[in-house]
Structure 1
Amino acid sequence: MDKTNVKVEFSIFGDGFDPNIITDTLLITPTRTWLKGDYIRRDLFRKETCWELATEYEESFDINDQIDKLKNLIQNRKDEVVKLVRQNNLECKLEVVINIENNEKPAMYLNKETIKFVHDIGAEIDFDLYIL
């Protein structure tokens, strides 16, 4: 029987930049990167360049478990993230992806620490829910 699982992605993205700048500054190896114009499929191409750090999908009944894992990786580099975003005219986002199995919904709230963290780095939050 499949269980509800959660994945969290932190991405820094923009019109066109070298993702290695992010890697070299933060000293974190991204989960994946892509460049504006990269081929996706058929006549579909990437609309922006992106540097992304993500957790794996994990069985979870509280999204904060995965958010905290990712937050802990970049917490001490918040100032560098803000500087990179400003200097390179970029944006950043925290995306929470939830696959709901058997109508078992995880707790979905943002604690004060997460709200402060997201505010401090100037990020947006996106929730993707998939009912399976």
Structure 2
Amino acid sequence: MDKTTIMVEFAVMGDEFPPDEVTKALSIKPTSSWLKGEKIADKNITRKETSWAISTGYEESLDMNEQLQKIIVLFENKKADLRRVSKLYELDCKFFVVIKIVENYCPGIYIDCALVDFLREIKAEIDMDLYVT
């Protein structure tokens, strides 16, 4: 039986910047990165921006904050480094939350004060997508 799953990805994105420099600045290895202009595999289009990202991958869950915390804990002591590299390369920070709802098992979807503070401190946005099957 399929279960509801949640994936959270945190990305820093910009026009052109060296993703390796973000890795060095944060001492965190990304789960994915690409350069503006790279061809997207199996498609006839190219990347419109450069990106460095870390993701939880899809996990069975009924509370999106479990996955958010797995990412946030990695950056808790690196907020100043993240702000510095973001300013240096004019990067945008964004959380992507993707929820795949199965059999109407909808997870808790809320943003607590600690998350709001964290998003504000690193000047990040949050984007949520829900898919119901």
- In structure 1, the partner of 2:36 is 36
1:14 aligned onto 2:6: no
Listed as ranges, the matches of 1:51-62 within 5 Å are 51-62=52-63
Task: Give the distance between the partners of 2:88 and 2:74, measured in 1 at CA.
Answer: 22
Deviations 1:62-103 (A, max 9, x none): 100000111001111011111111111110101111011111
Task: Give the distance between the partners of 2:102 and 2:16, measured in 1 at CA.
Answer: 38
1:56 CA drift (Å): 2.0
- In structure 2, the partner of 1:123 is 124
Task: Give the distance between the partners of 1:124 and 1:51, measured in 2 at CA.
Answer: 15
What TM-score results when the alignment is normalised by the length of structure 1?
0.97
What TM-score results when the alignment is normalised by the length of structure 2?
0.96
Deviations 1:97-126 (A, max 9, x none): 101111110000011111100110000000
- In structure 1, the partner of 2:3 is 3
**Matched pairs, number:** 132
1:108 aligned onto 2:109: yes
Classify the secondary structure of the residue corresponding to 1:76: coil
Structure 1 regions of 5+ residues with no counterpart? none
Structure 2 regions of 5+ residues with no counterpart? none
1:93 aligned onto 2:91: no
Deviations 1:11-39 (A, max 9, x none): 00100010000000100000010000111
Task: Give the distance between the partners of 2:44 and 2:54, measured in 1 at CA.
Answer: 27
Task: Give the distance between the partners of 2:99 and 2:79, measured in 1 at CA.
Answer: 25
Cα RMSD over matched residues?
0.8
